[in-house]
């Protein structure tokens, strides 16, 4: 963990993936965003490249790639289309509880389906009145013979309606606060309803919506982990997922920076390229420094995951990586719009899409205010 230089294999993987993204993902990005349409063509291209299998262990049909390599993949896809990157991120988030806490039978039943791209997954934690305050959730799971009956509404659910599997957190003991939360894996066909999708500022090609469980019966074997361990499972999962949100943010920022640099070299004013104006050079230099710093922090957090978190610092490091990288993405993308001037404010160029997509990285998987609380508590406890 003393060095964060990519290995030769990781560097080669980045080069291959960058060409793949340029050929198969980038040409579709603006159209899917404009139509608010799920990026099926881009997702299927990712499946052909076996990207959904990266994080899944080899014994369950995946490649078992290390977390740094996973970050590289998300970063490169996000440089062109953050919505497509989310199709990869969300299934990992939804299935990490299964991979780390479910029975062997459940792992073998579901993980290969996700690795192959046959199935996608969503993570159902937030509710209309329970976002950052997870313990206030009202979704219930009541044991009934060999089943649990789940009732409640989850909100802000990524991939709602598209996913085949939903990892749901519900209270099995409402009087126990966060200690009464349990985790379940629910198949879409068991009665999951998606009555509403949101029209969003960014990530417009990634559906986000309301997911309703109206007395949905779930076999007891689909309890993930033990009863009452849901809150721990949720936090354990987010600690390992947040660095890849940081990777997504780095990719968005790098995409915005790359486009702005190219524009400054082409565009002329007062008889010379914009790239020759020192004030704009300083802006670009600051953007590049922030992106590189964010990338280093994200890779550090991912390397900590790969090392098994020997010093117990992953929660804080993951929060730092997600928080810093997403703040950088928003700042760099906004500066990219500024560097393009009036053109940056139009949909003729991708700068405005980078800015819209960057914003959500400061909000989902825990707002950056929550991340700062996590970091501060780690320092001050």
Which tens digit of pLDDT belongs to each residue from 149-184?
999 999 999 999 999 999 999 999 999 999 999 999
pLDDT bracket for residue 3 (50, 70, 90): low
Pairing of strands 181-187, 193-197: unpaired
- First-to-final CA distance of the chain: 25
pLDDT at 157: 98
**pLDDT for residue 381 is more than 70:** yes
Cα–Cα distance for residue pair 215/189, rounded to 1 Å: 13
Task: Say yes or no to pLDDT of 196 above 80.
Answer: yes
Dist. CA 234–CA 314, nearest whole Å: 15
Query: CATH number of the domain at 231-380, please?
Result: 1.20.140.10
The domain segmentation of the chain, as residue ranges, is 8-115, 121-228, 231-380
User: What rounded mean pLDDT belongs to the chain?
Assistant: 96
CA–CA separation, 186 and 267 (whole Å): 53
Pairing of strands 268-269, 272-273: antiparallel
Phi-psi region of 271 (alpha: psi -120 to 50; beta: other; left: phi over 0): left
Three-class secondary structure of residue 198 per DSSP: coil
Asked if the 121-228 domain carries CATH number 2.60.120.620, the reply is no
Query: pLDDT tens for residues 313-344?
Result: 999 999 999 999 999 999 999 999 999 999 99
Tokens of 106: 């459940």
Catalytic residue among 75, 127, 210, 365: 365
Is residue 179 within 8 Å of 231, Cβ to Cβ? Answer: yes
Per-residue pLDDT for 1 more than 50?
A: no
pLDDT the model gives residue 2: 45
Question: What is the structure's pLDDT at 299?
Answer: 96
In our burial notation (b when 16+ CB lie closer than 10 A, e otherwise), range 105-143 reads: ebbebbbbbbbebebbbbbbbbbeebbeebeebebbbee
Look at domain 8-115 and name its CATH class.
mainly alpha
Mean pLDDT of 70-74: 97
Q: Identify the pLDDT of residue 5.
A: 82
Q: What is the pLDDT of residues 232-246, one digit of tens each?
A: 999 999 999 999 999
Mean pLDDT of 284-293: 98
Q: Whole-prediction pTM value?
A: 0.96
- Give residue-wise pLDDT tens across range 22-31: 999 999 999 9
pLDDT at 131 over 90: no
365 is catalytic: yes
């Amino acid at each position: 963990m003393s060095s964060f230089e990519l290995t030769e294999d990781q560097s080669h993987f980045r080069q291959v993936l960058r060409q793949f993204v340029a050929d198969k993902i980038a040409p579709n990005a603006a159209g899917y965003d404009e139509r608010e349409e799920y990026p099926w063509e881009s997702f299927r291209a990712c499946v052909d490249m076996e990207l959904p299998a990266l994080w899944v262990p080899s014994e369950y049909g995946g490649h078992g790639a290390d977390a740094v390599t996973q970050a590289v993949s998300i970063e490169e896809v996000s440089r062109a289309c953050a919505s497509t990157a989310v199709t990869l991120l969300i299934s990992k988030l939804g299935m990490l509880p299964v991979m780390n806490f479910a029975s062997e039978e459940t792992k073998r039943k579901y993980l290969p389906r996700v690795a192959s791209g046959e199935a996608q997954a969503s993570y159902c934690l937030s509710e209309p009145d329970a976002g950052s305050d997870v313990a206030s959730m009202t979704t219930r799971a009541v044991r009934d013979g060999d089943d649990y009956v789940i009732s409640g509404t989850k909100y802000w659910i990524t991939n709602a309606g598209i996913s085949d599997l939903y990892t749901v957190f519900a209270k099995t003991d409402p009087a126990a606060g966060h200690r009464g939360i349990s985790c379940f894996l629910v198949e879409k066909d068991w009665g999951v309803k998606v009555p509403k999708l949101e029209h969003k500022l960014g990530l417009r090609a990634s559906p986000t919506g309301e997911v309703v469980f109206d007395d949905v019966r779930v076999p007891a074997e689909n309890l993930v982990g033990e009863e009452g361990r849901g809150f721990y499972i949720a936090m354990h999962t987010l600690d390992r997922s947040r660095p890849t949100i940081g990777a997504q943010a780095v990719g968005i920022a790098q995409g915005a920076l790359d486009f702005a640099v190219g524009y400054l070299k082409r565009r002329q004013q007062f008889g010379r390229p914009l790239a020759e104006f020192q004030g704009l050079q300083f802006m670009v230099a600051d953007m590049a420094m922030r992106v590189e710093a964010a990338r280093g922090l994200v890779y550090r957090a991912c390397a900590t995951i790969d090392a098994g978190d020997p010093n117990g610092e992953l929660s804080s490091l993951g929060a730092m990586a997600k928080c810093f990288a997403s703040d950088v993405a928003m700042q760099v993308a906004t500066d990219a719009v500024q560097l393009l001037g009036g053109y940056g404010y139009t949909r003729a160029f991708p700068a405005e899409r980078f800015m819209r997509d960057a914003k959500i990285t400061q909000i989902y998987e825990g707002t950056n205010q929550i991340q700062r609380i996590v970091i501060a508590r780690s320092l001050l406890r």
